[in-house]
Amino acid sequence: MKEVTGMECSFYEYSFIVPVYNAEKYIDECIQSILKQGERCEIILVDDGSTDASGEICDVYAQQHKRIKVFHNKNSGPAAARNFGLEKACGNYVVFVDSDDYISSGLIEHLECGYADKTQDLIFYNIVKNFPDGRLEPMSEGLAREKIHGKTIDEVLKAISQCSKFPASTGGKIIKRDVLTKNNIKFKEGIMGEDIDWTLQLISNINSADVYQDESYYYRISPNTRRSYGNSKSLLDQLSIIEEWTAAGKGANKYILSFLAYQYAVSLPFYGALAAEEREMYSNRVKKLRFLLSYGNTTKIKLIRLAVNLLGITTASKLLYQYVVKRDETNA
């Protein structure tokens, strides 16, 4: 591991952690958007074994800005890079930003001005999808501040369970670092969908939350964003996460089960995309988890449950796969 940094660790209020891998086309915009957040923000760039010019670009920024730290590690995946970055963080708050994404310029300034309550353990802020043609579209998770800020944790979880989409992305969150470190909340390494498990750990350990509706995280949609359909490992990892969280104890909370219902529904197109012989390998596991759909609180999950009941898991999964392919082609 090689480190390039302008100064040793000192006090910062916010730590922005950026896993970097072959993002030379976008890394400038990402770093510039974080630099605009002010001097109380440190930027931790973890170069995850990039083979393009990303690492060199990061080094140049570190030489120009004392609050930027760069670490060059061997390629181990985004989960390992984020975990490593968290170990190096100094700030009271942590914000994760992927190297091909960027954030709005007023994120920290407006937070400091009281646009959201920074005393809360977790602050959600908007995620906006940025398509290759430049089109911007809200993620539309449906988080409502009046249902979350100042509410009990049970009320917070209930509000999240009623969202159209479970907010599992690492982006769009400002987190008290102590919540992560004291509860040993880390990303599982070597799996796909590590953000799902991480978010479940996070919301299971917070005592308060808020919604910051004035600023945004811009999530870049690339042609490869959804390439894992038909990937057996992607389905395996999703099922493993869901199974672990439905095990005794972890899945006791009905709202956690609601989040798992959403993730189970998300996994069905992955199941439907597999060839028949591969589907057979996962058939029993998928059927065993079918009960989760009964915990879904949204119209979308209820419709999927109806389709599964009427058509069976295999046919419903194939149709869901065809639907997401057409949807993604439309939005490409």
Please, where in the chain does CATH 3.90.550.10 lie? 2-220
pLDDT tens digits for 202-233?
A: 999 999 999 999 999 999 987 655 556 768 99
Note down pLDDT in tens along the chain; length 332 residues: 555 454 455 679 999 999 999 999 999 999 999 999 999 999 999 999 999 999 999 999 999 999 999 999 999 999 999 999 999 999 999 999 999 999 999 999 999 999 999 999 999 999 999 988 889 999 877 899 999 999 999 999 999 999 988 999 999 999 999 999 999 999 999 999 999 999 999 999 999 999 999 999 999 987 655 556 768 999 999 999 999 999 866 656 889 999 999 999 999 999 999 999 999 999 999 999 999 999 998 999 999 999 999 999 999 999 999 999 888 777 65
pLDDT tens digits for 140-179?
A: 778 999 999 999 999 999 999 999 889 999 999 999 999 9
Beta strands in 60-141, from DSSP E residues, in sequence order:
68-73, 93-96, 102-103, 122-130, 136-138
Say which residues have a Cβ less than 8 Å from residue 169's Cβ, sequence separation at least 6: 127, 139, 195, 199, 217, 219
Integer Cα distance of 302 and 312 in angstroms:
15
The answer to whether the Cα torsion of 21, 24, 25, 30 is positive or negative is: positive
Class of domain 2-220: alpha beta
- Please tell me the pTM assigned to this model: 0.93
Mean pLDDT of the chain: 92
Integer Cα distance of 328 and 321 in angstroms:
11
